[in-house]
Amino acid sequence: MTPTDAFHAPSVRHDIRLVVCDMDGTLLDAAKRIPDALWPLVDVMRERGIVFAPASGRQHATLAGQFARLGSSLVVIAENGSLVVDGGDIVSCSPLPAGAMARIVAAVRGHAVAGFDVGTVVCGLRSAYVERDDPAFMSKVEPYYAALEVVEDLTAVEDDILKVAVYDFGDAAHDTQPALAHLADELQVVVSDRHWIDLMAPGVNKGVAVRALQESLGVTPSQTVVFGDYLNDLEMMDASELSFAMANAHPKVAARARYTAPSNVDHGVVVTLRRLLEHPVA
């Protein structure tokens, strides 16, 4: 499938009911900020009954803080699809299989002993947890995990574990993914950007989360818009007939999406949403 320019293909009227948007590399600008121009568009969508849902590897607490102005109506896909929340209600929750977290932590510890500069974040329903707490690592973790605890032993954490995220100060796909390859038979192992790898329950991804949200809201793929840029957004492209890869997207995402949007630094989500909202269903 070859993506089509966003300024041509969607320039017809659409019955949009759900907009799902990745964060890093998609909605957020070069300074990791939500563009100010998004908020008036969110207001327009709310007036028209269109649900706007950020979809991210970030935890629910972080997304709730970033979108605090939406209050109790906030809908989010968090932890790369492991958790979907509509207001105060959990739409879907997919914890790791029993024992999987300990096996992941052991593998990453061994990888670190082998000389790789890596750190682990255990992502629970209540909080995220780390045992490495040096400033260099914490500076990479804190922007994504507003609810964060430092513990002595990650394997002793008692929580519903949704995901384990691994930060590699080098190249995650080249250096760390091979060290975790033996876990791919029992877990979903996803490179979410150059430095992060996420490990989740089998079959969990943003696409499955979008479909769970669609079912909960009574929305179809033809009524859904999605925006994404990286490999953890691939399955999300299949859940919508209005799927947009950012101009800065990974080639595999660009090939999977139906359309393209300008890059995140050019506020591509805002530009494209504005265009789409100018052509509502009559």
Cα–Cα dist 139/224, whole Å: 35
Each residue's pLDDT tens digit, 88-119:
899 999 999 999 999 999 999 999 999 999 99
Q: What is the mean pLDDT of residues 122-147?
A: 96
- pTM reported for the whole predicted model: 0.88
At residue 18, the pLDDT reads 98
Sort residue 75 into left (φ over 0), alpha (ψ -120 to 50) or beta: beta
Q: Is the pLDDT of residue 206 over 90?
A: yes
Q: What is the mean pLDDT of residues 198-204?
A: 93
- DSSP 3-state assignment of 256? helix
Q: What is the mean pLDDT of residues 164-171?
A: 96
The C-alpha torsion from 230 through 205 and 142 to 273, rounded to 10°, is: 60
Edge-to-edge strand order for the sheet containing 161-168?
148-150, 128-130, 118-124, 161-168, 196-200, 188-191
Please, which pLDDT band fits residue 192 given cuts at 50, 70 and 90? Answer: confident
At residue 5, the pLDDT reads 52
